[in-house]
Amino acid sequence: MRAGRPTEAERFAAPVLAADPENLLAAQVLGAALLMQGRPADALAPLEMATRRSADPSTGIYFARALARVGRKDEALVQLRECAARRPPFVQAFLELGDQLAEAGRYDEAAEVFETGLSLVPEAAVLRIGLGYLHLRRNDRARARELFSEAREAAPQRRDAAIALARVMALDGESAAAVDLFRLALASQPEDPVVRIELGKCLLDLGEREAGEAMLRAGSSGSAQWGPTLRALAAGAHGRFFLRPSAAARFLQAERAGQARNRRR
């Protein structure tokens, strides 16, 4: 599971649980592995059993995710509130509950959850960042920036804080400052397509067309990223707009084709 191989984890956990239906660890691993594979309906039974019999709040969070993904969102929120009520406080429960409430458009409740979590665990940067993104959804960029800056000041090494602050800077037109933070984030995960696309857009906004387009091409590593890449290209004052999908595909694939030719040489 930690290596990101849920199919293999399922293969090991399933026969253990079949042989010993009371095995909590096997139920936890199997349910989490199924959830990671996009099979929430299959994950429900083992996760419900493990949640009812375990004191581990992380299992309850997996169960709540499975409930939400099969459309049982009210039950998911009840489960998350139970996890958030446990003491000592479990930070991930507040984060998940706040995120699910925000997804449902219940912003005031989500803000209250994040703030309650922070009152119990003031050093939880992830809750500060989550609350910042909630304010960003509500277009309160000033408050979002304040929270992201606090998180980054408290933990300069946090990649998520750097990305969050860069995003609000980009929205405020501070593209040069955002570029520095996006580059810092890429230094630790150079292949991150989302950050590459956001960095490319900022470079275009600064008039650095060649560098920006190269970064956007690098970010469109698969066709799933073409939509965000093309939107980034079209949005900026120095961007591009394609009338034909084939022209867009040729543009995005140009750099990879050149790299392949260079490798053959």
Domain boundaries, the chain: 1-73, 87-174, 192-265
Number of other residues whose CB lies within 10 A of the CB of residue 134: 23
**Residue in 242, 245, 183 with CA at minimum distance from that of residue 218:** 183
Domain 87-174 in the same topology as domain 1-73: yes
- Record the pTM: 0.81
What is the assigned CATH class of domain 87-174? mainly alpha
The tens place of each residue's pLDDT in the chain, 265 residues long, gives 889 999 999 999 999 999 999 999 999 999 999 999 999 999 999 999 999 998 889 999 999 999 999 999 999 999 999 999 999 999 999 999 999 999 999 999 999 999 999 999 999 999 999 999 999 999 999 999 999 999 999 999 999 999 999 999 999 999 999 999 999 999 999 999 899 999 999 998 898 988 888 888 887 765 445 556 556 555 655 555 544 555 555 566 655 544 444 444 4
Q: What sign does the dihedral 94-100-106-107 (CA atoms) show?
A: positive
What is the assigned CATH class of domain 1-73? mainly alpha
Which tokens sit at 192? 């991150």
